[in-house]
Structure 1
Amino acid sequence: MKLAKILFSTFFLANSLVFAQSSAVSGSGNSGDKVTLQDAIDFALRNNLSIKQNNLQVEQGINTLDQSKWAKYPTLNGGTNFNLFSGRNINPYTNGIITNTVGSNGFGLNSGVILFDGYQTRNGIALNQLNLEASQLDLQNMKNQITLNIVVGYLNVLSQQDLLSISQRQLEVTQIQLERSQKLVNAGSLPETNLFDIKAQLANDELNVVNAENAIISAKLTLKQLMNTGADRDIELVRVEVPNPSIQAYPATPAQIYEIAQGFLADVQAADMRVKASQKSVDIAKGLKMPTVSASASFNSSFSTAAENVNVTQKIVEQEAGYVNVANIRYPVFAYVPTSVASREKIAYFRQLGGNGNASLGLNVRIPIFNGYSTKFRLTTAQIQQKQSEVQADNVRLRLRQDIELAYVNMTNAAKRFSALGNQVRALEESFRAAEARFNVGALNALDYNISKTNLDRARANQIQAKYDYVFRIKILDYYQNRPLTF
């Protein structure tokens, strides 16, 4: 909330460079791009690099939140492998020892899901949601600050233009008075020394005009830099008529302004969001003490070039087993012997995959027992961070209340100064008219005339500064109440 003080310091310093400066019509020409106050604000919001950086932080927050939301869903992964073995190996199909070259191919699907993790996933989603909202509020707060910067820069240019208008009118008055004095000197009614004093005053007024024109250039450069546009861009501000403010009591007290401000200001809301986020971090740390329950499932199948079917065919073979003698007659003896014939057939690829499939289901429980007090230390850290965020939120509110109180006092003081300067200008205008009349008839010397004119010039310049100071102080209080920065 110290932004208002910084902005005003910049605004007042720029106004103090000269005490007689600027009007848009006479000081800036008409060849540049016409830019309204809203145009300047919109351009700055589109092109400010800090806003672009904060936009990326918001996008990162959205990405992190989406990622945490998907973490609660089951995982599914698949895989495959290809292997080639040569020499002495184990047949993956029969587990027998073989010396052939064997190729294999496997497929697998695995899935897992967390059934319970101490609410860490749920609290993590809530934490990321709060962090995202805090980032969005930070972005809004930055936009508000840039808007205030642009308003101050815009008002600064207008004030310089108003002061240049005064300087030019002062120069015109001095030129007219020089012409009158020249005639009186020629007629012998005034000594020539009076003419020298008027010429010196004219040179001083011309210098004030030059200084005022330079101040407009500097003020415009500051505004261009706030807009993040090139210094060589020629712009013409569409003049916002800032009427002379009426001196009356502000319609809200500092306490009322504070109550409104803390309810909508983005930096206060961001601090509150971070308090809530720190509470979720504590809940996540507490969840580390609880068991984690997960389920898993898998399906696998494989193929091997060594896999084959062995077909065995049996048949009865008659074979002569010997002979016997019966009555000296030799008779052959035949035996019927069963024999088997084996044939080998490679098993087809997809047939193997269908036949080798296996599935599994699992339920896993992990119970934390001792992990070097890591859970304890993490919980303590989260609790400390929660207290820090609470103190930070209180500090934001404290600064807000103090800044509002200071802004209110400054507004009241600015109103008093503007009123007093108005009285001073009116009194000096009367005094100068009397001095001018006396000077024109030779009843007042040029030195006293110049002193009277200089006092009036300075008072008018101070009145312009006081006017914009007072208006700006009012706008700061309006900003704290979410009122539009219009004039």
Structure 2
Amino acid sequence: MKFVKILLPTLLLVNVFVQAQQTTAVSTSSNDSPSEKVGLQEAIDVALRNNLSIRQSGLTVENSLNTLDQSKWARYPNLNGSFNLNLFSGRNINPYTNGIITNTVGSNNMGLSSGVTLFDGYQTRNNIAFNQTNLEASRLDLQAMKNQVTLNVVVAYLNVLSQEDLLAISQRQVDVSKIQLERTQKQVNAGSVPEVNLYDIQAQLANDEVQVVNAENAILSAKLTLRQLMNIPADKNIDVVRIEVPNPNIQPYPNSPEEVYQIAQSFLADVQAADMRVKAAQKSVAIAKGLRSPVVTAFGNINTSTTTAAEKVLVTQKIIEQEAGYVNVGGVRYPVIAVLPSTSTTSEKIGYFRQLGGNINTSLGISVRVPIFNGYNAKFRTTGAVIQQKQAEVQAENVRLRLRQDIEQAYVNMSNSAKKYSALSNQVRALEESFRAAESKFNVGSLNSLDYSISKTNLDRARANQIQAKYDYIFRIKILDYYQNKPLNF
């Protein structure tokens, strides 16, 4: 008995010291800055806004949209302009007269060209459809990621609430132990119960206070997980807004696993994204087959040019009369006058803009490119596209298989949680009655402190297990609701 009297106070002092140290650490970490109230919807909004994977997925959507717009503009004619300046020196061909010159000559060429594809085996049309389905798949991937982040935040939020409920239970346990300690102290002072009972209650109180510290630390860990999901600094203190989560009624779930699966696959973003990629793969096959078709294009050009060697030649003609000789007619000498034409030439430079207008030439045409042999490129491209289509189809089946299995597992987990919560609720009710009887006996001295502590510990543990089972059961129900696109409210 002396050994017990020495050992129990020693253990009590050790527990109180440890509890004081842990309480100091908790209060130091939690009181550095004022806490900010955060509601469930606000937590979800912040997480969606700050999540880096969602941002990256959003950029993927933007890139897919850009690719789609680019493929749509491929249907329209192109238009290109050209402008060249050249300088030639030495022996060259006059670009204006095609004669040989040795002067330095400058030239300027400019033009416009346009072309449009009239037929390419529907490659352009199928490419637009391919990019459109890829865009839809990217958007669905983004939505699936948002849904997953939302679900994770709800789970973390519920975990904070459950830990707070466990803390409340632990604090009530401390209050009960303090009341019992005061009562036992009076009984010991009155000599109605042995002093060892006081030591037992003191040890029980110290243990309850340690449970409070553990519950407070669990809350800090749960809040840290929530802050990480929200991607906010770990040193920013937050308090969640309490949500009234009523005790669930254990009732059969309204839908069977098969019904949940049929609803889920009709709208769930993961499944729809996989189906979109199958459609995209089908369009990829059509694009590859289009490589075997002729490509018909229409084109047109308009060009003009100028050169510094361009000259305009001016020809001037004159009539010159001159005496060419004499003739004798009847002894009379008459002069002979010859009328001769005289030609003279001069040249002048042709103006720049005059050349531009005078040298215009245009062309219109249609070209047909017929693939005859290109290293079996169309064959291999088609075979590869068919393989990718089969891979996409298998992936879509795999997504549905995982979805079915996840729903079946979620349904079993929900059923097991319902049974566990029901059993723990019955256990708590029975242990409450047992503890009430034990407390009455202990107060009158007909029950020793050890049996009283065992009864209280059993009740405390059952209440904690009931709280955990309650939130686990609610979470399992929300999982099945999520698969049916039901709102995650309470």
TM bucket, shorter chain: over 0.9
Cα RMSD after superposing both structures: 1.7
- The whole-number CA distance in structure 2 between the counterparts of 1:323 and 1:198 is 167
Tell me the equivalent position of 1:170: 173
- The whole-number CA distance in structure 2 between the counterparts of 1:154 and 1:414 is 19
The more displaced of 141-150 and 333-342 is 333-342
Tell me the equivalent position of 1:16: none
Tell me the equivalent position of 1:335: 338
Tell me the equivalent position of 1:133: 136
The more displaced of 154-163 and 188-197 is 188-197
Tell me the equivalent position of 2:273: 270
Q: Give the counterpart letter for 2:418 in structure 1.
A: A
Task: Note the 1:120-159 alignment, pairs <5 A.
Answer: 120-159=123-162
Please point out which of 195, 200, 205 is paired with 1:202. Answer: 205
Tell me the equivalent position of 2:457: 454
- The whole-number CA distance in structure 2 between the counterparts of 1:149 and 1:278 is 32
The alpha carbon displacement at 1:326 in A equals 7.7
Please point out which of 60, 65, 78 is paired with 1:75. Answer: 78
Tell me the equivalent position of 1:13: none
**8 Å Cα contact 1:282/1:382 also seen in 2:** yes
Tell me the equivalent position of 1:365: 368
**SS, match of residue 318 in structure 2:** strand
**8 Å Cα contact 1:197/1:446 also seen in 2:** yes
- The whole-number CA distance in structure 1 between the counterparts of 2:240 and 2:411 is 30
The alpha carbon displacement at 1:331 in A equals 6.2
- The whole-number CA distance in structure 1 between the counterparts of 2:261 and 2:403 is 7
- The whole-number CA distance in structure 1 between the counterparts of 2:148 and 2:92 is 74
Segments of structure 1 that go 5 or more residues without pairing to the other structure are 1-26
Tell me the equivalent position of 2:471: 468
**8 Å Cα contact 2:30/2:237 also seen in 1:** no
Tell me the equivalent position of 1:41: 44
1:303-342 CA-to-partner distances (Å, cap 9, x unmatched) read 1111111111111212343456789987654432211010
1:265-289 CA-to-partner distances (Å, cap 9, x unmatched) read 0000000000011000000011011
1:80-133 CA-to-partner distances (Å, cap 9, x unmatched) read 111111121111111001111111111100000000000000000000000000
- The whole-number CA distance in structure 1 between the counterparts of 2:345 and 2:91 is 24
2:91 aligned with 1:91: no
- The whole-number CA distance in structure 2 between the counterparts of 1:409 and 1:149 is 20
Tell me the equivalent position of 2:402: 399
Please point out which of 431, 434, 446 is paired with 1:431. Answer: 434
The alpha carbon displacement at 1:446 in A equals 1.2
Please point out which of 104, 107, 111 is paired with 1:108. Answer: 111
- The whole-number CA distance in structure 2 between the counterparts of 1:244 and 1:426 is 14
Q: Give the counterpart letter for 2:446 in structure 1.
A: A
**SS, match of residue 275 in structure 1:** helix
**8 Å Cα contact 2:76/2:116 also seen in 1:** yes
**SS, match of residue 440 in structure 2:** helix
1:425-479 CA-to-partner distances (Å, cap 9, x unmatched) read 0111111111111111211111111111111110000000000000000000000
**SS, match of residue 132 in structure 2:** helix
**8 Å Cα contact 1:322/1:334 also seen in 2:** yes
Tell me the equivalent position of 1:219: 222
Tell me the equivalent position of 1:243: 246
- The whole-number CA distance in structure 1 between the counterparts of 2:51 and 2:244 is 27
Q: Give the counterpart letter for 2:56 in structure 1.
A: Q
- The whole-number CA distance in structure 2 between the counterparts of 1:198 and 1:320 is 159
Tell me the equivalent position of 2:59: 56
2:488 aligned with 1:485: yes
**8 Å Cα contact 2:167/2:215 also seen in 1:** yes
2:305 aligned with 1:309: no
Tell me the equivalent position of 2:11: none
Report the number of matched residues.
461
Q: Give the counterpart letter for 1:434 in structure 2.
A: A
Aligned residues with identical type, % of pairs: 74
- The whole-number CA distance in structure 2 between the counterparts of 1:114 and 1:217 is 65
**SS, match of residue 248 in structure 1:** coil
The alpha carbon displacement at 1:76 in A equals 0.6
Tell me the equivalent position of 1:8: none
1:37-95 CA-to-partner distances (Å, cap 9, x unmatched) read 00111111111111111111111111111100000000011111111111211111110
Q: TM-score, normalised on structure 2?
A: 0.92
2:191 aligned with 1:188: yes
- The whole-number CA distance in structure 2 between the counterparts of 1:320 and 1:150 is 121
Please point out which of 414, 417, 430 is paired with 1:414. Answer: 417
- The whole-number CA distance in structure 1 between the counterparts of 2:406 and 2:293 is 46
1:192-242 CA-to-partner distances (Å, cap 9, x unmatched) read 111111111111111111111111111111101101111122222111111
**8 Å Cα contact 1:31/1:236 also seen in 2:** no
The alpha carbon displacement at 1:389 in A equals 0.4
**SS, match of residue 106 in structure 1:** strand
2:387 aligned with 1:380: no
Say if 1:474 and 1:485 are closer, same or farther in 2 by CA, change over 3 A. Answer: same
**SS, match of residue 288 in structure 1:** helix
Tell me the equivalent position of 1:23: none
**8 Å Cα contact 1:303/1:349 also seen in 2:** yes
- The whole-number CA distance in structure 2 between the counterparts of 1:208 and 1:194 is 21
- The whole-number CA distance in structure 2 between the counterparts of 1:239 and 1:308 is 94
More RCO (CA 8 Å, sep 6+): 1
1:141-171 CA-to-partner distances (Å, cap 9, x unmatched) read 0000000011001000000000000000001
